[in-house]
Amino acid sequence: MKTNKFFLYLTPAFLLAEILLYGLFLAHDLGGAHIGNATAVKYATVLLALAFAATGFLTSAGKPGAIRDTAFLTAGLVFTAISDWFLLVRGDHFEFGLVTFLCAQTCYAVRVRLAGRLTQKLSRVFLLLRVLLPLLLIALLPLLGLLSLLNALVAVYFVQLIFNLVENAVSAALPGAPEERFRPLLLAIGFLFFIGCDICVGLSNLAHGLGSSLIWLFYTPSQVLISLSSIRKEPHRYENTAD
């Protein structure tokens, strides 16, 4: 198996662009540099990740498994871009932004199941926990005096994010071909960065801005790693080209 030649050229360009933008806004957030519109620079990293994944989808024609996989990945990043438009660029409609983030996590959850590496028993257990844990957290909110639509959405969203990390980590640990294990490992690390970002968001909201400068330190790498999982192998000419 070899990497699609198109991605051999596209991936370094994508990573270089992301690194340049990443360094630019970190110089603003952590170093106090004046770079103009830092928000636009941050949002550009999200759109670049989406464009890279969409390219993976558009170049997967003729390989049904690849089309399905990259379609859910691209859909997840579309929902992410919509969320960031409201939460980052506009800074309003937080409930809607969380709903679209939840849609993104749902796309990623479907994707890990369609990969077929989890056993049926594990899939059922994880699915049950994905449903029961948010319900338990929502039931606790009134007892804590925190019941609101926003907090309920946060509870559902964060559980799905945690299980996307766990399920991909388990998938990476299971026996299989290197590519089958590498993609979920890449995603697990991406979701770990995602969780780091959300922890910073939580600290920022609870402690009057504490951790706010670190949010995008974690967030952009998470999106880059998730989008890189769109890279697939192509068979040698003598192999069956069915995916």
| pLDDT value of position 213 | 83
Question: What are the phi and psi torsion angles at 40 (to 5°)?
Answer: -65, -40
| pLDDT value of position 209 | 64
CB-CB contact of 241 with 4 (8 Å): no
Mean predicted confidence (pLDDT) in 125-142: 96
Three-state secondary structure readout of the chain: CEECHHHHHHHHHHHHHHHHHHHHHHHHHCCCCCCCCHHHHHHHHHHHHHHHHHHHHHCCCCCHHHHHHHHHHHHHHHHHHHHHHHHHHHCCCHHHHHHHHHHHHHHHHHHHHHCCCCCHHHHHHHHHHHHHHHHHHHHHCCCCCCCCHHHHHHHHHHHHHHHHHHHHHHHHHCCCCHHHHHHHHHHHHHHHHHHHHHHHHHHHHHCCCCCHHHHHHHHHHHHHHHHHCCCCEECCCCCCCCC
| pLDDT value of position 93 | 87
Q: What is the pLDDT of residues 42-81, one digit of tens each?
A: 999 999 999 999 998 988 866 777 889 999 999 999 999 9
**What percent of the chain has pLDDT above 70?**
91
Q: Which range (2-6, 92-96, 112-116) has the least confidence?
A: 2-6
Q: What is the mean pLDDT of the chain?
A: 89
Pick the more confident residue, 135 or 34: 135
Q: What is the pLDDT of residues 82-113, one digit of tens each?
A: 999 999 898 888 899 999 999 999 999 999 99
Q: Is the pTM of this model over 0.85?
A: yes
Q: Which range (36-40, 189-193, 203-207) has the least confidence?
A: 203-207
Mean predicted confidence (pLDDT) in 3-32: 89
Q: Is residue 161 pLDDT above 70, yes or no?
A: yes
| pLDDT value of position 238 | 35
Joined tokens for residue 122: 């594990």
| pLDDT value of position 172 | 94
Q: What is the pLDDT of residues 194-215, one digit of tens each?
A: 999 999 998 888 776 667 888 9
| pLDDT value of position 59 | 85
Q: Which range (25-29, 95-99, 236-240) has the least confidence?
A: 236-240
Q: Is residue 236 pLDDT above 90, yes or no?
A: no
